[in-house]
Chains A and B, each alone.
Chain A
Amino acid sequence: MLHTAYRPEKEMGLRRIFTDSGHLVRPAVVLIAALGIFLIIRALVIPKAFGQYGHYRPAALMEIRQRPIVYAGQDQCVMCHDDEAKTRAAGKHAHVACEACHGPLASHANDPAAHVPKLPDVANLCRRCHEKDAAKPPGFPQVVTAEHSGGMTCNSCHQPHNPHL
């Protein structure tokens, strides 16, 4: 008797399992909801395409690339300043870039009239490269500037773009 009373029929069985496991279904629903919310927040918080190239934000590459350029590069100077370029190419300063002496001039190269550059301060300019120092490679032309120039500015004897007299 007892046996039959507690043996449920087949379709009853499924429903029994469902109703009996109500205490499992409810936490499961909560879990799924929590997972859903987690996924949404995750998608909102993590930047777009994070991890495309590695563990970082790929848009950062473009942001860094868009920083402004300050030194135009001498290819630009040479295009407009033919004379100086020719003079320089003939002398020992052939491989010294224009902006190495003239300073950053991208603004001038972009709009020459609006940004007319100041000329370099010769008193300090030449000394920085040519002052005698034992640490300099011995083959590099160096002078003790105070003795060598006798107090005159370097460009009263040397032409900066082609320093040979």
Chain B
Amino acid sequence: MEISRRDLFTIGGKLLVLASAGATLEQITGAEPATEAYKMADHWWGMIVDIDKCIGCGNCVRACSNENHVPDGYFRTWVERYQVTEDQQPQVDSPNGAIDGFPPSTHTGVKSFFVPKLCNQCAHSPCVQVCPVGATFVSPDGVVLVDQSYCLGCRYCVQACPYGCRYLHPDTKTVDKCTLCYHRITQGLTTACCENCPTGARQLVDFKNPKDPVHEFLRHNKVQILKPYMATGAKVYYKDLDGSVR
């Protein structure tokens, strides 16, 4: 059989049109159906932190490090000790993120307290907004996550986070951060930090669950988020937060 040049072009053209139409169709409709017990639409995760209960033991830092294999010297959560003088000048220390707790304080005559910090799981997160490739995102249940296989390691988000909650993983060279223990909370467990907090100073909460104690908590307590003027939509609420905390 002879194939003329004209035939080749015509057949080639038809195939090309078909293939591109198919490719586009598959792109649009290729979504996998969610068939599971855990429904993302039914949850909206956050955390409450009660400053007056934190004893600075560092259990949360160790737990997070173990659970998530956080490299040495990097932290997804850490605890700061504030020592605030009368003119509201804070002195802050956090030896190695408080992974081994704190040495006893030597200061006297100052107001002092512990502040556990972690990703605020912002609803309008600046880190997500600056990502050029869609590697970091807010999940449908309100957790800010990083797609390790999609991250370029450009560090825009590390700079954009007003709370300093992101770091570049020294081995993978991709950005890493608190996942709110997404692998645990989607299975009905609490986060590693909350599991190991001896005093209940930090508690995982689900704003969409009408039975969650968070609703009672927010009704009865004076709470604050960190850097509210940044309008990040932070979902970690601090009870009895001092004005000196940044």
What residues of chain A have their CB less than 8 Å away from a CB belonging to chain B?
Answer: 29, 32-33, 35-40, 42-44, 46-50, 52-58, 60-61, 63-71, 73-74, 95-97, 99-100, 103-104, 128-129, 131-137, 140
Contact = CB atoms under 8 A, between A and B. Distances in A.
Interface stretch (B24-32, B160-168, B204-212, B218-226): B24-32
Nearest to A93: B198
A58 B183 CA distance: 15
A99 B107 contact: no
B182 A65 contact: yes
A135 B31 CA distance: 52
Contacts of B150: 47, 56-57, 60
Contact of A67 (B24, B137, B183, B198): B183
Contact of A137 (B55, B136, B138, B148): B55
Interface in B191-218: 192, 195-200
Contacts of B116: none
Given A33-B16, A58-B31, A67-B183, A39 B23 contact: yes
A140 B55 contact: yes
B140 interface: yes
Contact of B104 (A46, A48, A70, A133): A133
Interface in B113-157: 113-114, 134-140, 145, 147-150
A77 to B, nearest CB: 11
B59 interface: yes
A104 B20 contact: no
B101 interface: yes
A35 B136 CA distance: 30
Interface residues of B, number: 67
Interface in B41-60: 52-59
20 contacts: A29-B13, A37-B16, A39-B24, A48-B30, A48-B31, A55-B134, A60-B148, A64-B182, A64-B183, A65-B183, A65-B186, A69-B67, A69-B187, A70-B67, A71-B192, A74-B195, A95-B200, A128-B59, A128-B100, A133-B105
Nearest to B197: A100
A36 B31 contact: no
A140 B114 CA distance: 13
Given A29-B13, A54-B138, A56-B135, A69 B55 contact: no
A66 B184 CA distance: 9
A99 B195 contact: yes
A40 B23 contact: yes
A128 B57 contact: yes
A52 B139 CA distance: 11
Given A56-B147, A128-B101, A134-B112, A33 B134 contact: no
B108 interface: yes
A103 B55 CA distance: 18
A39 B20 contact: yes
B82 interface: yes
Contacts of A58: 31-32
A56 B134 CA distance: 5
